[in-house]
Amino acid sequence: MQSACSPFQQGQDLARRLILLGVLSGWPITDCTEAHEVAMRYARYVAPRGGPEEVRAIAAGLLFRWMLYSTGRVRM
């Protein structure tokens, strides 16, 4: 039986999946408009009651990690 994941852990898992999907599909991080849209949707999912600053901070973190993974600077 699986233990219930915290919302934070669920968010981290979702971030990994989004990053991996982007990297494996060859989706270039230079496509800023689409990458930003995906990151903002992710941030709103993780923090549905978060204020604009919190949502932007979460989205920026995802984009930063995505950039690091896509350039091969860190591994999954």
4-40 tens-digit pLDDT: 566 666 666 766 777 666 666 666 555 667 777 778 8
CA gyration radius, the chain? 13
**DSSP structure string for 48-72:** TT--HHHHHHHHHHHHHHHHHHHTT
Provide the pLDDT for residue 67.
74
d(CA 35, CA 69): 14
pTM of the complete model beyond 0.85? no
**Mean pLDDT to the nearest integer, 50-56:** 88
d(CA 37, CA 15): 14
Provide the pLDDT for residue 5.
61
